[in-house]
Chains A and B, each alone.
Chain A
Amino acid sequence: MQSLDDLRRMVRRIEPRRPPRAAARPVEEVLGGAVHETGAGPLVVVRREYPLAHAHGCAPLAPAFAAPLPLLAALARAEAPATDGRSLLFLDTETTGLAGGTGTYAFLVGAGWREDDRFVVAQYFMRDFDEEPALLAALAPVLERAGGVVTFNGAGFDLPLLETRFVLARRRWPALLSHLDLLRPARRVFAPSLADCRLATLEREVLGLERGDDVPGALIPSLYFDFLRTRRAAPLARVFEHNRQDVLSLVALLGWFGRALERHEGLGAAEVAGLGRLWEPVDPERAEACYRAALAVGLGGALALWVRLRLAASEKRAARWEAACALWEEAARHAAFDPRPWEELAKFHEHRRRDFARARVLVESALVRARAAETPARVLDALAYRLERLRRRAR
Chain B
Amino acid sequence: MSTVAAISTAQGQGGIGIIRISGKDSFTIADKIFKSVSKKKVQDIPGYTALFGYVYKDKEIIDEAVVLKFAAPKSFTGENVVEISCHGGLYVTKEVLSAVISAGAEPAGPGEFTKRAYLNGKMDLTEAESVMDIISAKSKSAARAALYVKEGVLYKKSQEIKELLLDKAAHLSAWADYPEEDIPEISYSSISDAINTSIETLEKLLSTYNAGQVIKEGIDTVIVGRPNAGKSTLMNLLAGREKSIVTSIAGTTRDVVEDTVLVGNVLLNLSDTAGIRETDNEIEKIGVKKTFERIHSCGLVIALFDCSQKLNKEDMALIDEIKNIPSVAVINKTDLKNRLDSDYIEKNIKNVVYISAKNQHNIDELKEIIEKITGTEDFDPSAGVIANERQRDAVSKALSSLYEAKNAMELGMTMDAITVSFQETIDFLLELTGESAGEEIVDKVFHNFCVGK
| Real binding pair | no
B interface, CB within 8 angstroms of A? none
A interface, CB within 8 angstroms of B? none
